[in-house]
Amino acid sequence: MRAVSITLKIPDNTAYTALVALRKLGVDVDRVERSEVYFFADESDPASLVRHIEADETIFNPNKHRVRLLDEAIPRAGEVWIEAMGAPAPVVAWRLVAANGEPAAGATVDAAVERLLCNPAIERAVTRRTIGDRDNPRASE
């Protein structure tokens, strides 16, 4: 399975709003990045997969999006994937960056998830540390 991240190349007002809210809630972050992550069974030629995604107007607009193939189908350091329960894809990826430019620590990501980024009644948060949970359908167990 290939994971593909689609981000905005224009300013992301939603990410900025989340940054301001997280700071007001006491979460120490310097930058917040947001993307949508899609999963594809096609593991063949990466260039062919990117062309396929760029041709799909339902998920990609060349005027405002960038596409990036992820190395792994799991969240990166400092990142949490928010999955709507019962919905396949995409997931919303929130990447938190500390003041030193490094990915935010796990405790910071956990605080952001608890205080703002995830509604546990209808969503599930997945991080690198929780990827092995038995109820995570994307985990390779």
Structure tokens at 88: 């396949």
Domain annotation covers residue 138: no
In the chain, the number of structural domains is: 1
Residue 132: pLDDT band (50, 70, 90) is low
* 106/41: higher pLDDT: 106
Please give the full DSSP string across 34-87, using - where no structure is assigned.
EEEEEEES--S-HHHHHHHHHT-TTT--TTTEEEEE-SSSSPPTTEEEEEETT-
Domain annotation covers residue 132: no
The reported pTM is: 0.88
Q: Say yes or no to pLDDT of 110 above 90.
A: yes
CA 18/CA 35 separation, integer angstroms: 13
Domain annotation covers residue 122: yes
Domain, as residue range, for 72? 2-126
> Do residues 56 and 26 touch, judged by C-beta distance below 8 A?
no
* pLDDT at residue number 14: 97
Domain annotation covers residue 43: yes
Domain annotation covers residue 15: yes
State the average pLDDT over residues 82-110.
94
